[in-house]
Amino acid sequence: MIETINSPNDLKKVKLKDLTVIADQIRNIIIDVTSKNGGHLASSLGAIELTLALHYVFNTPKDKIVWDVGHQAYAHKIITGRREQFRTLRTYGGLSGFPKITESEYDTFNVGHASTAISAALGMTTAKDLLNTKEKVIAVIGDGALTSGITFEALNNSGELDKDLIVVLNDNKMSISKSLGAISTYLTKRLTGPTYNTLRREIERAIKGFPVLNEPALKLAKKIEESFKFFSPGLLFEEFGFKYFGPVDGENIEDLVTIFENVKNLRGPVFVHVLTKKGKGYKFAEENPSKFHGIGPFDVSTGQTLEKAKSPSYSSVFGNSIIDIMKDKPKVVAISAAMLIGTGLEKAKNLFPERVFDVGIAEQHAVTFAGGLAISGIKPIVAIYSTFLQRAYDQIIHDIALQKLNVVFAIDRAGVVGDDGETHQGIFDISYLNLVPNMIITAPKDARELDALLRFSVDNDFGPFSIRYPRGESVDFGEQFIDTIEFGKWQVLNDTESCDICIISYGNCVKYSMQSIPILQEKEINPFIVNARFIKPFDDKMFNEILNRFKNIIIMEENTYIGSLGQNLITYAYTHYENHKSKIEHIALPDAFLEQGESEFLRKKYSLSCDNLINKVYTLLGR
């Protein structure tokens, strides 16, 4: 049947009872494609019935569905004319893993970061009133969004504006891993409490006993409903000015269709609470929804991932280092923003439950919370992906850097991250942190140096100290390249008296510099290789020596060139050495949002490779 569904209009032609068949077929497609391409599997499996009901009832694309994050939007893509393209999910030139306005008229807002849906939807419904149009606007949020401040800012403003807005809560008690915080606890207690469930059964029994719902019966039902709110999870949302409906069984399409038909023409803000099951329909995802939240290619029959790492990831190296540090230093704590597993902190949380904090999808709070700890004598390490740290920029400047507090920022997924595309590339952190006074920025060349920089940062009181490292498998250059870290000092990795050219790189790009050595030496070119592990402050003494010694310099880095180390070094060279004779070639990422694609493919496309580095050397030397 799914082959006949090329738009929501086709879906509306299907009998209501047959939508479960469509749901099962979509589930099979999603499992098959993600098993090959990887992706956000568990979230999308749990939201299929909800997605079908929304498109069955509402007149999309005229009516606008705004998905929060978009992890749960795979079924939405399949039934909005992208079924055949779905096999290209998360590949270069293929479908995005998230809603994307340039991809389809059914995608109403670009998303990838959590908790933006209600704000965007409120803006759309306000614009609708200003333009005097008649469409419906629906925001679909996950329960993880209820840990985020922007969600409550939007709920508060929605109640004040009293616009026609439908918010659907897709509640599976999970965000990426188990949802945390007082709101999650509140909802769970209300939904599972004996008083709530007993009252609900009694009310259902009483209403069924009414022969006709005449006016006295309706008044009684209304009074019962008002009393019931004190025991239901809806009281919170009613206080924000929403009409609350639910909880609704998210696996029952007929119930979902009925509730959406009932609420779609109501005036004012409406909140529909839907209970779903993350990973529904695939045994391994149901049993381990956190693993299958975002997963690489896997064997459908066993649930085992197919890609076997040759070396530990930087995230796991970080996680193991944190455990060792916390054993030795009782004042060190770690903070995550709903990313314990992704950042490698899950083991540390199990060992030190009182010293590892998962604050939910609340990066702003995470940073200022760390500031409060730091000013009280604790040494916090805040582990957040590069792309998500952007959300806490004001807190970094105002609450941490301005007071020069000793907070360590462990910036995971820095640089190119690949398949998740524009919304997740970590290519701006050096640029936005370079602007901040008192901020120290470092990048390790390999796993050993990541451990060393972490220890260096907690052993000293330098103020805010950032350590950025890439996604994926770590590199280990061996013991011969271990040295004692000194503040603000670079490391020379290759030097001879007859060096022809200087190559400066840091982090992930050091491997390309090191790979170039034997190839260049075969051509009788000896490169002077520098590990610029301190990006801010940079090693001005060594750079002065480089400017005096070398006529040809290459700077290579995995960050947008604007605000980068290379831009700062070039500016320094021309302001401090007006007559310097050095030719400086800067290899960096463009001023652009990088598309999705396999990470190494994207790096090569944007000139971050050993081959490109060697060609730049040949060009500069005229070979």
Q: Are 405 and 462 in contact (CB under 8 A)?
A: no
User: What integer pLDDT is reported at residue 192 of this predicted model?
Assistant: 42
| Nearest residue to 250 via CA among 216, 271, 277 | 277
For 105-121, what is the mean pLDDT?
A: 93
Give the Cα separation of 517 and 514 in Å (integer).
6
Q: Could you tell me where the DSSP H helices lie in 145-282? A: 149-161, 182-192, 194-209, 215-228, 235-239, 253-263
pLDDT tens-digit series, residues 237-253: 888 899 999 888 999 99
Annotated active-site residue 533? The verdict is no
For residue 173, indicate whether it is catalytic.
no
Q: Is the pLDDT of residue 58 over 50?
A: yes
DSSP 592: S
User: From residue 436, how far is each of 86, 293, 396, 439, 609 by CA, in Å?
Assistant: 42, 34, 8, 6, 30
Q: Determine the residue type at 221.
A: A
278 tagged catalytic: yes
Q: Which is more confident, 340 or 204?
A: 340
pLDDT of residue 498: 86
Chain centre to alpha carbon of residue 166:
25
List the catalytic residue out of 49, 251, 363, 449.
363
**pTM of the predicted structure, to 2 decimals:** 0.89
Catalytic residue from among 64, 190, 277, 278? 278
Q: Which of 90, 128, 379, 391 is catalytic?
A: 391
Contacts for 390 with CB less than 8 Å, ≥ 6 apart: 428, 429, 432
Q: Residue 443: CB partners within 8 Å, gap ≥ 6?
A: 414, 467, 468, 469, 506, 507, 533, 535
Q: Do 512 and 608 form a contact (C-beta atoms < 8 A)?
A: yes
Confidence at 228, pLDDT banded by 50, 70, 90: very low
Alpha-carbon torsion 56, 62, 63, 66, what sign?
positive
Question: For 431-460, how does the pLDDT look when each residue is reduced to its tens digit (9 = 90+)?
Answer: 999 999 999 999 999 999 999 999 999 999
- pLDDT tens, residue by residue, 506-565: 999 999 999 999 999 999 999 999 999 999 999 999 999 999 999 999 999 999 999 999
